[in-house]
Amino acid sequence: MMAKKTKQTTSNSKKIKDLDKDYLEIENTTMTTNQGLKVNDTNNSLKSGERGSTLLEDFLLREKITHFDHERIPERIVHARGSAAHGVFELKKDMSKFTKAGVLTDTSRKTPVFVRFSTVAGSKGSPDLARDVRGFAVKFYTDEGTWDLVGNNMPIFFIQDAMKFPDLIHSVKPEPNKEIPQAASAHDTFYDFVSLTTETLHNHIWAMSDRAIPRSLRMMEGFGIHTFRLINKKGESHFVKFHWKPKLGVHSVTWEEAVKINGADSDFHRRDLWDAIEAGQYPQWDLGLQIVPEKDEHKYDFDLLDPTKLIPEEMVPVTIVGTMTLNRNPENFFAETEQVAFLPGHIVPGIDFTNDPLLQGRLFSYRDTQLSRLGSPNFHQIPINRPVVEAHNNQRDGHMQTSIPKGQTAYFPNSLSGGCPHLSKIAEGAFHSYEERIDAKKIRTRSESFSDHFSQPALFYRSLADWEKEHVADAYTFELGKCMHDHIKGRMLWLIAQIDSDLSKKVAEGLGMTVPKSIEKPVNQAIGADADPKKHQPGKKKNYLDASPALSQARTKFDSIATRQVAVLLADGFDAKTFKAMTTMLDKEGAMAKLVAPHGGMVKDSDKNTHKVDASIVTTESVLFDALYIPGGKASVDTLLKQAKYTKFVNEAFKHCKAIATDGEGERLLKASYVKDHMKDKAIHVNDSPEAFKKSMAQHRNWDRRKVTDMIPV
């Protein structure tokens, strides 16, 4: 054993040396454009002042983004793995004080929507339960045109300037020399980038939390990420951040479950969304707005235009204005889910952009990407992308033109067509950009107000429950444990220590390392070659809020078991009376009882009634369910005890802190498992009422149990 270990270590060292040879070949090269022009800054777009808008003349940005957008066809470069559904948005609160957008002011409307959820890093064929950010894109088909709110399930992003997006994605994608790992961030190139680009640390700690492995697409929040503007009829501007809050609360699975779910059902999230809608259990989210008066733009210890920062809800409450319901699955996956095109530049009167440099770059990038992926400037004519209002303009022809434009003229102004299509006035509903004053130098940099990289990751971590903190430490340990280079792991440990010293110590212990007292290279290298290296280093950690409870999943909703999957372990002869009482409650509450028997087909209860089996024990796994129920009946339990996988089922459910209920003879299966020593657990129900079981299920997990389950092998 020792010899093999030594040989493996030697092999790894050789691999690292071989990789280092590749690095030496490019060590002294100078960065240029594709035309050979030397570049002194590939981290910041050209702006009208430090906090100004990005300029169209920035040929460096356009070359870098354009090349990135066209790297792969036809699959999306990012967000390739997606699931989607149709629905409706209903406004409950008139927001005309802040905006003239009809979708946010007319409470009589029911606005059709199409929503696409996705993972970011993996390919189209990757599994659903990767540790990743989830895309949350909503297309509103409004009476004033299409509005696309293109966001994620995390309120911030990894980078501050769109110029860095290709670098971020290149680092997290499979390493180009060997095309592995797929749909995973646990590798050297990603952590090399993160440890040298400290603006990533906030979004990164969210990705290390349970938010990155949601229980269901229906149980995750959505965010617009950027700060946008709302414009009312008076032309007054307010800053706004958009939030989607799920009616079912925010819930996740553990990493251990995610690994097993990917093996047992790699389409777990996609199937869950489809099945819920088919069963009439329509997912719902409340739309919330965080509104900041323009006069308060510089009120906070963070910059509103920095996409790596959130506004804590304790500082600016979220106002709920309406509800979105997804009530129809797509008819054809390719025609709708694959061909749908979301663009942040699709807005309506009453909504406008800010100078957030990431948003500014996305306004260019998304259209360019769709041109490459869908092959034509006419992608808006694909049915899923068509607005519900008619489109009239002088744009003609192009690849895959499906309409038949009529008339002699295709220009404006004209007299031959009576001046049509004519221009519209602002008072008639025309879009009008907010008249923001600009008086600045053209400059390629970013504002010093973007330089706080530690305060908000620290706030996020402080706000988590103990069990959430443990999961974050475990995630860092797992991810960094997959890296081969100690200097990268050392940099990351030092940076984690700037967020929280206890967290870094836990991760270091798991890696068998110590936290460095300092690191040799500058903390943040996401600056230009001519920039002052001290000017853009992250500042000292601030504590402008002790904790933000809204950031913890421990503060989510725990009042419903609707759509929860309950495995019912049984065989012929199970007790009909207790089974009926339990399944009646589950059906009433909208939960889904799934019968898991030793075989497929039908199974008989003690009254000789037959029931359809949902899965045989050999075709399913405990991790696919939210809770476990074992009805009584001696014959049934005798059969279950003959198959070891039933005991494994119970052990796994117990280890993952799920609620378990048994009636009568069903208790024998618990006593044959690790549960036998923990029968007083508050989420273990023996001959208890269905209502008591329901309350435990609604809590999602009994996280207190984790203290006794770590040693349980499964």
Indicate the residue among 363, 385, 407 that finishes a domain. Answer: 385
Q: Judge whether 16 lies within some domain.
A: no
Indicate the residue among 365, 385, 405 that finishes a domain. Answer: 385
Phi/psi at 685 (5° precision): -120, 110
By the 8 A CB rule, do 174 and 441 touch? no
53 pLDDT more than 80? yes
User: CB neighbours of 517 closer than 8 A, spacing ≥ 6?
Assistant: none
Q: How many CB atoms lie within 10 A of CB 635?
A: 14
407-414 mean pLDDT: 86
3 pLDDT more than 60? no
Task: Kindly report, residue by residue over 686-709, the tens digit of the pLDDT.
Answer: 999 999 999 999 999 999 998 887
DSSP H helices, 328-485, are 357-374, 455-463, 466-481
**Catalytically annotated residue among 43, 152, 203, 355:** 152
User: CB neighbours of 704 closer than 8 A, spacing ≥ 6?
Assistant: 682
Please give, one letter per residue, the 3-state secondary structure of 525-553. Answer: CCCCCCCCCCCCCCCCCCCCCCCCHHHCH
580-601 mean pLDDT: 97
Task: Kindly report, residue by residue over 148-207, the tens digit of the pLDDT.
Answer: 999 999 999 999 999 999 999 999 999 999 999 999 999 999 999 999 999 999 999 999
Query: Which residue in 543, 376, 402, 359 sits closest to 461, CA to CA?
Result: 543
The confidence score (pLDDT) of residue 21 equals: 55
Q: Judge whether 427 lies within some domain.
A: no
Cβ-count burial 450-477 (b if 16+ within 10 Å, e if not): bbbbbbbbbbbbbbbeebbbebbbbbbb
Domain of 577 in residue numbering reads as 558-709
Q: What is the pLDDT confidence band of residue 23, given thresholds at 50, 70 and 90?
A: low
The confidence score (pLDDT) of residue 714 equals: 64
The confidence score (pLDDT) of residue 423 equals: 81
Q: How many CB atoms lie within 10 A of CB 560?
A: 16
The confidence score (pLDDT) of residue 12 equals: 53
The confidence score (pLDDT) of residue 612 equals: 98
How many whole angstroms from its chain centre is CA 47? 29
Amino acid at 65: I
Cα–Cα distances (Å) from 457 to 202, 251, 587, in that order, read: 5, 21, 42
438 pLDDT more than 70? yes
The confidence score (pLDDT) of residue 44 equals: 86
Tokens read off for 599: 């075989």
Q: Determine what percent of the chain is predicted with pLDDT higher than 90.
A: 74
486-505 mean pLDDT: 97
Task: Kindly report, residue by residue over 299-312, the tens digit of the pLDDT.
Answer: 999 999 999 999 99
59 pLDDT more than 90? no
Query: Which residue in 66, 117, 454 sits closest to 276, CA to CA?
Result: 117
**Catalytically annotated residue among 43, 44, 79, 153:** 79
Tokens read off for 162: 């769109």
Indicate the residue among 333, 357, 385 that finishes a domain. Answer: 385
User: CB neighbours of 17 closer than 8 A, spacing ≥ 6?
Assistant: none
- Spatial distance between the Cα atoms of 595 and 579, rounded to a whole number of angstroms: 11
Which secondary-structure segment (H or E) carries 662?
strand 659-662
Give the chain's mean pLDDT. 92
The confidence score (pLDDT) of residue 9 equals: 43
Amino acid at 684: I
Task: Kindly report, residue by residue over 88-119, the tens digit of the pLDDT.
Answer: 999 999 999 999 999 999 999 999 999 999 99
Instruction: Give SS3 for 206.
Output: helix
Query: Which residue in 476, 377, 469 sits closest to 131, CA to CA?
Result: 476
- Spatial distance between the Cα atoms of 226 and 202, rounded to a whole number of angstroms: 15
Q: Judge whether 112 lies within some domain.
A: yes
Higher local confidence (pLDDT), 199 or 65: 199
Amino acid at 179: E
User: CB neighbours of 199 closer than 8 A, spacing ≥ 6?
Assistant: 158, 159, 160, 308, 450, 453, 524, 526
Whether the ω angle into residue 421 lies within 30 degrees of 0, i.e. cis, is: yes
Q: Judge whether 231 lies within some domain.
A: yes
The confidence score (pLDDT) of residue 4 equals: 38
59-83 mean pLDDT: 80
Give the CATH number, domain containing residue 635.
3.40.50.880
Task: Kindly report, residue by residue over 311-331, the tens digit of the pLDDT.
Answer: 999 999 999 999 999 999 999
Give the CATH number, domain containing residue 341.
2.40.180.10
Q: Judge whether 446 lies within some domain.
A: no
Q: What is the pLDDT confidence band of residue 43, given thresholds at 50, 70 and 90?
A: confident
The confidence score (pLDDT) of residue 405 equals: 85
Instruction: Give SS3 for 221.
Output: coil
Please give, one letter per residue, the 3-state secondary structure of 666-684. Answer: HHHHHHCCHHHHCCCCCCE
Q: Judge whether 681 lies within some domain.
A: yes
Whether the ω angle into residue 533 lies within 30 degrees of 0, i.e. cis, is: no
Higher local confidence (pLDDT), 29 or 244: 244
- Spatial distance between the Cα atoms of 392 and 409, rounded to a whole number of angstroms: 12
The HSE-up count of residue 593 (CA atoms within 13 Å, CB side) is 25
Q: In what order do the strands lie in the sheet with 615-616?
A: 615-616, 592-597, 565-569, 627-630, 659-662, 684-686
Tokens read off for 324: 């979105």
Helices (H) and strands (E) in the chain, counts: 18, 20
Q: Judge whether 252 lies within some domain.
A: yes
Q: What is the pLDDT confidence band of residue 580, given thresholds at 50, 70 and 90?
A: very high
342-365 mean pLDDT: 94
Q: How many domains does the chain have?
A: 2
Task: Kindly report, residue by residue over 278-299, the tens digit of the pLDDT.
Answer: 999 999 999 999 999 999 999 9
Whether the ω angle into residue 522 lies within 30 degrees of 0, i.e. cis, is: no
Q: What is the pTM assigned to this prediction?
A: 0.90
- 152 as an active site residue: the answer is yes
239, β-bridge pairs: 229, 292
CB under 8 A, 24+ apart: contacts of 513-521: 513/486, 513/489, 516/490, 516/491, 518/494, 519/490, 519/491, 519/494, 521/196, 521/491
What is the bridge-based pairing of β-strands 228-231 and 222-223?
A: unpaired
Q: Judge whether 343 lies within some domain.
A: yes
Cα–Cα distances (Å) from 84 to 118, 255, 336, 443, in that order, read: 9, 24, 8, 41
175, β-bridge pairs: 180
